[in-house]
Amino acid sequence: MKVLGDGKQQKSYLYIGDCLDAMLRVVERATAKSAKHGVEIYNLGTDEYVQVNDSIRFICGALGLKPKLEYSGGNKGWVGDNPFIFSTPKKSAPPAGKPR
């Protein structure tokens, strides 16, 4: 299995079902209607992250696979990649200026 980078990059993942549930809850609450600028911003994330090597181990373990790993090297997987991506669930500040 070819692994971009050194496998030590840390990523924060969000289950798609949790993402959709959160989006639907915000829409149901309709908080943007009463907000100062007609907009409410929410960050969807988790307080957890996992190393790429751990993701490989979890997935391959669940599938019963033991592939040979070939790393491309470096602390980034691709151009523009960040070795640590952490999506915070904290609410953002309201936008500055007038709404578009």
Distance of alpha carbon 61 from alpha carbon 12, whole angstroms: 20
Query: pLDDT, tens digit, for every residue of 8-41?
Result: 999 888 889 998 998 888 888 887 778 787 777 7
Q: Is the pLDDT of residue 99 over 60?
A: no
Average pLDDT, the chain: 83
3-class DSSP state for residue 18? Answer: helix
Q: Kindly indicate the confidence band of residue 92, based on its pLDDT and cuts at 50, 70 and 90.
A: low
3-class DSSP state for residue 99? Answer: coil
pLDDT for 100:
43
Q: Kindly indicate the confidence band of residue 85, based on its pLDDT and cuts at 50, 70 and 90.
A: confident
Q: pLDDT: is 76 or 54 the higher one? A: 54
Q: Kindly indicate the confidence band of residue 93, based on its pLDDT and cuts at 50, 70 and 90.
A: low
pLDDT for 97:
56
Beta bridge partners of 70: 2
Going 4 to 8 to 14 to 17, the CA torsion angle's sign is: positive
